[in-house]
Structures are given as structure tokens and as C-alpha cells.
Structure 1
Amino acid sequence: MTQTADTTPDVIDLLTGITPGDRLDTLRRHRLQARTHAQQSYLALFEPQAPQPGRFSLADRQAVAAFVAGLHQQPDATAFYNAALAAEGARQARPGVPQAIAAEVVRGAARGPYGNYPPGPLSEEDTAGPAYHVGDAQRAVLGAPLSAALEHAHLLTLHPRDASPAALQALLDAGWRTTEIVTLSQLVAFLAFQIRVVAGLRALAAAPAHTGNQASSETTQA
């Protein structure tokens, strides 16, 4: 049964190890609207109450999420989405997908971000990096649409400077519809946000507690 907003734990709290009443819980309560919107975004992408439009299935969403979390090298997020992928894959009878995703995380690993800016003042920051394509063995397991999604997610995560009409056309050629491409891009962007928030909150958790103006400054960041 799909969980509702009332029963699904706040994922950022879960990944950060926040418990009710602790310092970070108090900080996040000062930005309650932002906290609520972040959780609602997660639910809309991964636990939609209405049937999701298009053919971007929950199983494929979890596969992309596990891949993107792995590229970000955030262990807790990677473990969380890997577990969700395994559970959804079991329900959908899709053997071999978690192993294929894990293999592609290794193949796609890079420091990033890299790519080229349009010619101009920023060109001095151009950084060369390897092109990423799903391996043949994994493509046979994942299929063409999901393989194209991983390649696009890798582009957005590690070399967004190289985003182009040709990259979108590759998705269309693999059978993706425009609305599905929008959802895919939203998912990748949300994960980048979620993982960065978790990293920031973990840094706050590791820092000594402050009082006065410093504590107020922490609140605005959480």
C-alpha cells in the first residue's frame, strides 16, 4: 500500500538522523514551510496518490534515484534509494535491475561538474570529462528507455553545461514523452537539492551548538 504524507517519515530528517526535539529538529521547525515543501516534493515524485501520468513508472523512478544518489556519493541517500529500488523491483518482478544500477554507478563515477560553457568569459572554466553511456550488459537488463534516462541523469548531475537539444532528442528517440522528460528532470533536480540539504544539516550537526546571533544564522540556513 502506498504510504501517505501522514505516515511517510520526513526523508531529509531520516537521512540526517534528526529526531523530534533535537537541535536540528528545532532549526528545521523555524523553516516549517520549506520543510513541508521538501517532503511534499518527495511524495509527489515517489509516492504519488493519483496515478502518475505517462510511462515513467515508480520502479524506474527508484532506479534513476539510486543511480543519481550513487553519483553524488552520499552513502545514506544511496542506501535509502537502493532499498526502495529493491522493494519496488521485487513488486514489479524486475530481477537484475538493482545490480545493473550498482554497476552503472561505478561506471559513471566522476568528480564533476565538467563540460563546456558557450564561448565567452566563462570558457576558461571549461573542464573536460568522459562521456557516459550505459554498458551493453546493463542496457540489456534495463532496456532502452531507462538506459536513456540514466544517461540524461548523468548529464544533468555531472556535466550540466553540456545539456543540449540533442540530449533531449536522445530521450525522445528512446520513447520518452515530453511530460515524462519534465518529470525526469524534476526528479534529478530534487535529488540534488535533497542531498545537499542533508549534507548541510550533517555539517551543522557536527558543529558545536551556538547561541544568540550565530544560532539565528543557522536557522536561516536549515
Structure 2
Amino acid sequence: MSSLPVDVIDQIASVPADLDAVRRRRPDTREYAQKYFESIFEPIDDSQLAVSDRWLLAAFVTRLTADDATAAYYAAEARRNAPEQAEAVLAAAERWVTSGPFGHYAEPGLAGENTDGLRLQAEDLVDIEPRLAAGLAHAHLVTYRLRETDGTSHDLLLNAGWSIDGIVTLSQVFAFLAFQQRVIAALTVLKAVAA
């Protein structure tokens, strides 16, 4: 029996009946968003990325993006599913949250758009297991310095013990969370406008 909510987007956004009716106009979108969530947090095989680490990464990356209901949900789930590591990860998120984007383009013609800013590296996270720290540093990179993701950034993950399949799963987690957080933010705004 699943311990996950029937519809996590509805739960996090506290969707009222009128917005629920709007969401039900796109039943496939609603159903597949929930199934994607379930595939991340109740996978058939979590050997490449443990479920507890998925909750920790989700709490970290959603907090980097916003201090909102989605970040609060994942923080609570990280505490419940990985209590021994959650506080260190959540403290790191608070410490390393910034604004962006930052980074340097590889293309010389874009050098004028290069910007400096906060850069998290796995070595900065001394209270966190090295493999997870590398995943958190990668989360920070793709959140704030996407233009700097390349083979080198993936090599850092490989050197920390990540497999190719684990890196793909990590990317899928981040992609879903970006989608989910935006949908919930939009529903929150619609709910406020309707009130």
C-alpha cells in the first residue's frame, strides 16, 4: 500500500474545488504528473539512487528555488524519510540559497554575459556523506549555474560514486521538481486571485 498522497500537487497547493475542476479538465496531465511523482519516490528499483536520498535531494533543490509550500513539503518528507541526514541537508540549503543565474559560457561570443556568484562544491558539505554531497553540489550547479554543466560536472558525480543510471535518475528528479514547483506556484496564485 502506497504511503504517498493520491495527488501530491493538490495536497501541497491545497487546491479548492473550483481549481480542482480546472485541473480535472486535463485528466491525463494530472494523472501522469502523479504517476511521475510516484515513480520517483516509490520506484521499482532504487539501487542507483536510494529513496531516502531522493527525498533529501528534493528538499534541497526545492528550497534553492523558493521558500514555498513545495519546499516545506519536501523538507517535512526528508525529515520523515531520512531523519539522520535531513537537518544537515536542510541547513546546507539555507546556507547556499542565492539568486542567479551565474556562470561562465564556454562560447567566447557569450563572454559578455558571464556572471560570478556563489558556487557550492561537494567539499563544502563536510557534514554530509560524499556521494550525496556531490549530488547536492550538482543540484546547486543546475539550479544556478546551468551554463557550466558539462562533462566535467558529470565526471565529479562519477568520481563520487554515481553511476550513469544514477545521474540520469538524478536529472529526472530535478526535472520533475522544477515542473511540479511551477505548477504549484501557479495554482497558489490562482487560488489567491480567486479568494
Q: TM over 0.5: same fold?
A: yes
Say whether residues 1:27 and 2:51 are aligned partners: no
Distance 1:79 1:107 in 2: 16
* Structure 1 residue 200 displacement after superposition: 1.1
Aligned residue among 160, 166, 181 for 1:195: 181
Distance 2:70 2:104 in 1: 29
**What are the Cα deviations for residues 12-70 of structure 1, in whole angstroms up to 9, with x where unaligned?**
11111114xx121111111111111111111000122x233x33101111110110111
2:169 aligned partner, one-letter code? T
Aligned residue among 66, 69, 72 for 1:73: 66
Distance 1:28 1:80 in 2: 20
Contact 2:15-2:187 at 8 Å conserved across structures: no
Q: Which blocks of at least 5 consecutive residues in structure 1 are unaligned?
A: 210-222
What RMSD in Å do the two structures reach over aligned CA positions? Answer: 2.0
* Structure 1 residue 102 displacement after superposition: 1.7
Distance 1:26 1:123 in 2: 48
Contact 1:157-1:188 at 8 Å conserved across structures: no
Instruction: Count how many residue pairs are aligned between Structure 1 and Structure 2.
Output: 195
Distance 1:188 1:165 in 2: 18
1:142 alignment partner, SS class: coil
2:82 alignment partner, SS class: helix
TM-score by length of 1: 0.80
Distance 1:122 1:11 in 2: 40
Structure with bigger gyration radius? 1
Q: Which blocks of at least 5 consecutive residues in structure 2 are unaligned?
A: none
2:40 aligned partner, one-letter code? L
Contact 2:100-2:144 at 8 Å conserved across structures: yes
Farther-moved stretch of structure 1 (141-150 vs 120-129): 120-129
Equivalent in the alignment of 1:214: none
Aligned residue among 125, 133, 137 for 2:121: 133
Equivalent in the alignment of 2:3: 3
Distance 1:135 1:178 in 2: 21
Aligned pairs for 1:178-217 (under 5 A) are 178-208=164-194
Distance 1:197 1:99 in 2: 27
* Structure 1 residue 9 displacement after superposition: 2.6
Contact 2:48-2:165 at 8 Å conserved across structures: no
Contact 1:104-1:135 at 8 Å conserved across structures: no
Equivalent in the alignment of 1:146: 132
Identity of aligned residues (%): 36
Distance 1:130 1:36 in 2: 38
Equivalent in the alignment of 2:45: 51
Distance 1:72 1:59 in 2: 20
* Structure 1 residue 87 displacement after superposition: 1.4
* Structure 1 residue 134 displacement after superposition: 4.2
1:202 aligned partner, one-letter code? T
Aligned residue among 104, 107, 110 for 2:95: 107
Equivalent in the alignment of 1:167: 153
TM-score by length of 2: 0.91
* Structure 1 residue 177 displacement after superposition: 0.3
Go from structure 1 to structure 2 and tell me whether the alpha carbon gap of 1:27 and 1:122 turns closer, same or farther (over 3 Å shift): farther
Contact 1:86-1:98 at 8 Å conserved across structures: yes
Distance 1:184 1:13 in 2: 24
2:131 aligned partner, one-letter code? P
Distance 1:135 1:170 in 2: 11
* Structure 1 residue 188 displacement after superposition: 0.9
